[in-house]
Structure 1
Amino acid sequence: MSNKESSASSPAPSPLSPYLDAVANIFHPVASPVLNSYNLFHGWKESMGLVQPGTAENLTKEVQQVHLANWFFDGARADISKVVSANPAFQLTHTFSLGSSSRPPAYNFGAIFANANTFLHGSVDGQGQVTARANQTWSPHDISKLQAQLTNKPAQTMVQIEHDHLAPHYTFSLKSMNPGLLDGTGIHFVSLLHSIGPRLSLGFETIIQNTSVSKLETSTSYLAKLTSLPDRSAAASAALSPLGGPPIAQPFSPSWIATAQLQPSGNVQATYYQKMSDKVDVALDLQTNFQPASPLGPSQRGATATLGAKYDFRPATFRAQVDSNMKVGMLLEQRFTPAFAFLVGGEIDHARNTSRFGVGIQIESTTM
């Protein structure tokens, strides 16, 4: 009885089974060595302790978070935002700015929508200029981005499309600005950043400028990133990878980061970021400027070093920096309540005997 039940439960052989077995026997001598070689190579890479190096675009992200380039403003500014929904996140923003006498007052209205996989941001100013940004996360490895700027000013309308593929040990990115779908014109970027050890990552970024069908120019920059050793938190985040699959290497937060970029013109940009403590970050940026003589001007040989620090207190964030051109700047963000913050900043250029000053407020309201 048990033999009959076992024979009844087992599936009947398919008429195609002999043919499938014959095809498998034909390709097995070729496929087996290839698969074995791949498994050996994959095991060798895993034994090296490789990490996810991040994207080439964010190579100096930590330095940019410390320095004032992306944070400083002059004149008066007011940011008023209203949180309509928390999940999914939906927020409306109003920005009023008043600059110097050469820059008229400006108003900007924006809206932000975000959930676990999608981020949408759009804004329009008083001059009718529309900007839009969209990020879509397809999987833990693939992110697509879109940026657009629409304006009535000539040669300032822009569309940018990019895609990042974050593999366990490398990141491959494609970016295109004002792409021509029919003739392939536009400015295209191809970048690769690969981890070759637990601390060192190397890569490149190639720019392809195809301004017309008959004119094509390419230039390549070479990238290097050296960090401190990954800590245990990075290993723990990799062990908790989603979807129940194999562990995925996650970007970690090192205590220090050193980067170098060799540009096509021969100039070098080197940065160093050090996390001194939970509240203090320090960053150094060195950029050379070597230009040969041309009809536009004489040759130039020089370098600029910028040293900055960021202090995070419970109610405030203070940024300060000084560079080799005798320029000193600071920005203080004082948050009196979770819904109200006061900003004040100043910059003095001793070489040019000029100065800038900015003051602003941030107000956030919610209906919840």
Structure 2
Amino acid sequence: MAAPSGSVPPPGFHPASAQNEFLQEQKGFPVPATQTHASSMFSFADPLLRPIANTFAQLQDTRQKLALPNPGTVEHLTREVKATHLNNYFFDGARADLTKAISINPIFQITHAFSHGSQSEPPSYNFGAVMGDDSTFLQGGISDSGSVTMRANRKLTPGHTAKVQAQLASAGGQSFVQLEHDYQGLDHSLNLKAMNPSPADGTGIYMVNFLQSLTRNFALGLETVYMRPSVDSQEANTGYMAKWTSDARDAIATVQYQGTGVAQATYWQRLADKVDAAVDLQVITAGGRREAQATIGAKWDFRMSTFRTQVDSTGKVSSLLETRLAPTFAFTVAGEIDHFKNAAKFGVGVSIESAGDIPMDPNAAPPAPPSVPM
């Protein structure tokens, strides 16, 4: 009990010795005080986030044990069918391409392209240049009408590629810029696109698609498109797709459905070592329309030439033969007959390639071109 106010301390009482005795009593029960540092700003949430992270890690381990293949991209879902059919190769009139390779690795080449006599397009001239290495791809061109196009791809890290496309044209409504990011995972792919994006008012066209392998032969995906041409107008739709691949990778079937009422089904098969066949069916049910078109085609690869032919349900029969008469000279002839309209188209083209003054050792193997990010 504390001494009353004004009382005299007992003999032999010293405040300092009393404090030392108190400290000596506390030495048997020390209370350590150490300063700790957090591993991150959000470490307080570790009890909640750690179970979630562990679950994702277990799922990742399970997916790696399944060894599912990469399903490819939504953009190249029907790549084999397009390579077999003539839609991306056919032309009419006369065409000539002159290409000069300035460097092989890295790639650097220039091209002069001439076209004349087409029934659907006026005569034109285009100058183009391509440059690329293992991490960068650059392409540009300018036409006689003043239209300028460019394309740039950059591999950021393994599996991540940033892409930019743009066009400047004198005609209204033809100029655009497109930003794109492509991601390739072990068993899935993701692609983001923005065409003519405007951060000020949010206008533009925005697309996202995702494709996931569920088994070694089957993959499912979806694609969402959000369009906002003006502040007062906007529209969004979602499409779905499926892809089946055989065990030997010699047959591929795809099905796509877009929210706008367009459905497509394709089938491609390698019949022999140098023979491919493909079938394409498109159905349109949008806007009260009920239309369908089927196309069947085949491709033969010979030692020095490639022959493609196809027939569709609209009565068109098309063929294209590309033959290489020399290592630097190729000759192409194309023809199409429309039996329902009683019309025909014919095209002929030449392609000349020049290696320029690239120094090469005649006794050494030619340098391998780089694998550019596409």
Same fold (TM over 0.5): yes
1:41-66, CA deviations, whole angstroms, 9 ceiling, x for partnerless residues?
22322333322111111111111111
Given the alignment of the two structures, is residue 19 of structure 1 paired with residue 36 of structure 2, yes or no? yes
Listed one character per residue, the Cα deviations across residues 101-124 of structure 1 (whole Å, up to 9, x for unaligned) are: 674321111111011111111111
| Counterpart residue number, 2:252 | 257
Q: 1:220 to 1:108 in 2, by over 3 A?
A: same
The 2-side partners of 1:68 and 1:102 are apart by 17
1:224 aligns with 2:242: yes
For residues 43 and 290 of structure 2, what CA distance do their matches in structure 1 show?
Answer: 67
> Which residue pairs with 1:366 in the alignment?
355
1:348 pairs with 2:337: yes
Aligned partner of 2:321 in structure 1 is: 332
Q: CA deviation at 1:21?
A: 8.7
- 2:188 aligned with 1:179: no
Shift of 1:39: 2.9
Is the aligned partner of 1:33 residue 2:33?
Answer: no
Amino acid aligned to 2:270:
K
Q: Give the equivalent residue in structure 1 for 2:136.
A: 118
Could you tell me which residue of structure 1 aligns to residue 171 of structure 2? 153
Residue 161 of structure 1, CA deviation: 1.2
Specify the SS of the correspondent of 1:47. helix
Q: Deviation per CA, 1:289-344, whole angstroms, max 9, x where unpaired?
A: 22444xxxxxx323111011111111001111111111100110000111000000
Worse-superposed segment, 176-185 or 357-366? 176-185
What is the CA distance between 1:40 and its match in structure 2? 2.4
Partner residue of 1:43 out of 31, 48, 61: 61
Q: Which moved more, 1:24-33 or 1:41-50?
A: 24-33
> Could you say if the C-alpha distance between residues 268 and 22 of structure 1 is closer, same or farther in structure 2, counting changes exceeding 3 Å?
closer
Aligned mates of 2:119, 2:37 — CA distance in 1: 80
Check whether the contact 1:49–1:197 (CA below 8 A) recurs between aligned residues. Answer: no
Distance 1:36 1:327, change over 3 A: same
5 Å-filtered alignment, 1:198-209, equals: 198-209=216-227
The CA distance in 2 between the partners of 1:41 and 1:334, in whole Å, is 51
Q: Residue 70 of structure 2 contacts residue 186 of structure 2 at CA under 8 Å; is this kept in 1?
A: yes
Q: Distance in 2 between matches of 1:55 and 1:211?
A: 27
Name the CA distance, whole Å, in 2 between partners of 1:21 and 1:114.
46
In structure 2, runs of 5+ residues without a counterpart are 1-32, 359-374
- Pick the aligned partner of 1:303 from 292, 296, 300: 292
Match of 1:170 among 177, 184, 188: 188
What is the letter of the counterpart of residue 19 of structure 1? T
4+ aligned runs moved over 3 Å, structure 1: 20-36, 100-104
- The CA RMSD over aligned residues, in Å, is 2.2
2:305 is aligned to 316
Per-residue CA deviation, residues 139-164 of structure 1 (Å, 9 max, x unaligned), is 22111111111111111111111111
Structure 1 counterpart SS, 2:59: helix
State the shift of 1:28 in Å. Answer: 6.4
Instruction: State how many pairs are aligned.
Output: 324
Q: What is residue 280 of structure 1 aligned with on the other side? A: 275
| Residue in structure 2 matching 1:189, options 194, 202, 207 | 207
Out of 212, 219, 222, the position equivalent to 2:230 is 212
CA distance in 2, matches of 1:124, 1:22: 54
Change (3 A) 1:132 1:26: closer
Determine if contact 1:260/1:271 at 8 Å carries over to the other structure: yes
Aligned partners of 2:211, 2:141: CA distance in 1, in Å?
32
Give the counterpart letter for 2:321 in structure 1: L
Give the 3-state SS of the residue equivalent to 1:19 in structure 2: coil
Partner residue in 2 for 1:290: 285
Structure 2 SS opposite 1:276:
strand
Distance across 1 between alignment mates of 2:39 and 2:204: 51
